[in-house]
Each structure stands twice: as structure tokens, then as C-alpha cells.
Structure 1
Amino acid sequence: MKTFFVQLFTWWNSQTLNTRFHTWRHGTRVGEDDVGNVYYEGGIDSEGRTRRWVIYKNYSEASSIPPGWNGWIHHRVDVAPSNENYQPRDWEKPHQPNLTGSAAAYRPKGSILGTRHRPQVTGDYDAWTPGS
């Protein structure tokens, strides 16, 4: 029952009832990424291409789509990552979503939201004053 109300009243959490109905009616499951997002295709869009979409695992956050799936969903590649035999290189880092606005966001040294400690001025900086 909770899932029904969440899908009825929120658009940012996974999928709405209309998206669920459209996916059931027209969607063909293509694959799933490591995060749990599920990818579908079906029908034709306004440009004559196969329509592709994603049902997010939790919140609808576009930066949670890994690079391979991002290329597929934007029609940059024709083969979905689930149909490929891709092995990442040793130097490739795992995908991370955009953490801006969260507690895990990058805060450089001296940032207001950082450690709340401003680095000591070294003497090579003079503050601007009006009239100088």
C-alpha cells in the first residue's frame, strides 16, 4: 500500500503510476546497472528512434546513471552495456553520482561549508578598501 501512495503522489521516487503503466504496456527490459536502475526501450520517439528510459532504484537522480548506460540512453551507442562484454581497465574508478548538495559533497580547504577554519593569510594578500 505504501508503494502505491508513493507512486501516486511523488514523481522523484522511482516511478509514477503512469510510467509504470507505460512501461508495462510498451516497454521491453534491456538491462540493469550495478546500482539497481532498470533500463527499457520501446515505441518510437519524435525523431524516429527507439524510445529509451530508465526506472531509478530510489530517487530520480540522472547522475546516478553510469557512463555506459548514459551513452546508450542518449543514443550514442547502439549496444546496451548488458549485451556487451566490457571489462573496465585497472585505472578506471567506479562511477559515483553527483554528490553536490549532500553531506558527502567535496568541500575544498577554506570553504565556508568546510571545516569552519579559514587558512592563515600569508601576507601576500591585501584586502581591498574603498578609495585605494
Structure 2
Amino acid sequence: MMKSLLQIFTWWNGQTIGTRFHTWRFGKRVGEDEAGNVYYEGGKDSEGRTRRWVIYNGYADASAIPPGWHGWMHHRTDISPAHEDYKAREWQKPHQANKTGTGDAYRPKGSINNTGERPRVTGDYDAWTPGA
């Protein structure tokens, strides 16, 4: 019951009922990534290209799409990582969730939100004054 209500009233938590219907009617499953996100294609977009979309496994976070799938989603390549022997390059890092707005957010040294002490002013800076 709760899952049905979430599908009707939320878009950020999996797929809505409209997306589920569209996927059932037009979608062709292309593959799945290691996070459990499922990728589909079907129909045409306004530019005449095949429409592509993802059903997230849980919370909808666009940064959770791995680099190989990102290229396929944005029509940079026609071959999906599921249909080729895709290997991530050594410089590609695994996904880290975006922590902005949470207690775990990055707070650089000197930030007002940082719990540490702000660095001392060295005196090598003179503030600008108009007309001076």
C-alpha cells in the first residue's frame, strides 16, 4: 500500500505511476548498472533520436549514473555498457553520494560552517576603500 502511494505522489523515490505505465508501454530494457539502476529506451524525442531513461534503484540521484551509462544516456555512444565489454578507466572514481545540505557536507578550512577555528589574518591584505 505504501509503495503504491509513493508511486502516485513522489517522483524522487523510484518511479511514479506515469513512468511505470510509459515504461511498460514503450520501454525496452537495455541493461542495469552495479547500483541496480535500470536503463530503458523506446520511442523518439523531439530531435528524432531514440528516447532513453533510467529507473533509479531508490532515491533519484542523477549523479548516481556511472560514466559509461552517462555517455549512453546522453547519446555520446550508441552502444550501451551492457552490450560491450565496458571497463572503467583507472582515473574514473566510483560514485559518491552528493552530501550537500547534510551534516556530512564538505566544509573547507575557513568556512563559517566548519567546526574548526578560522585561520588568522596575516595582515598582508588591505581592504579597498572608495576614493582612497
Q: TM-score, normalised by structure 2?
A: 0.86
- The RMSD of aligned alpha carbons is 2.0
1:8-29 per-residue CA deviation (whole Å, 9 max, x = no partner) reads 1112211110100111111111
Deviation of 1:118 after TM superposition, in Å, equals 0.9
SS of 1:53's equivalent in the other structure is: strand
The aligned residue for residue 102 of structure 1 is 102
Deviation of 1:6 after TM superposition, in Å, equals 0.4
Distance 1:31 1:103, change over 3 A: farther
Q: Which runs of 4+ in 1 moved over 3 A?
A: 89-92, 126-132
1:41-97 per-residue CA deviation (whole Å, 9 max, x = no partner) reads 111222211110011112222122111111111111001111121223444321334
Query: What code does the residue aligned with 1:76 have?
Result: R
Query: What code does the residue aligned with 2:111 have?
Result: S
Structure-to-structure mapping, 1:76-91, within 5 angstroms: 76-91=76-91
Deviation of 1:116 after TM superposition, in Å, equals 4.6
Q: Is the 8 A contact 1:65 1:97 kept in 2?
A: no
Count residues in correspondence: 132
Query: What code does the residue aligned with 2:3 have?
Result: T
SS of 1:5's equivalent in the other structure is: helix
Query: What code does the residue aligned with 1:77 have?
Result: T
Deviation of 1:109 after TM superposition, in Å, equals 0.5
Q: TM-score, normalised by structure 1?
A: 0.86
Among all aligned residue pairs of Structure 1 and Structure 2, give the percentage whose two residues are the same amino acid.
Answer: 68
Gaps of at least 5 residues in structure 1 are: none
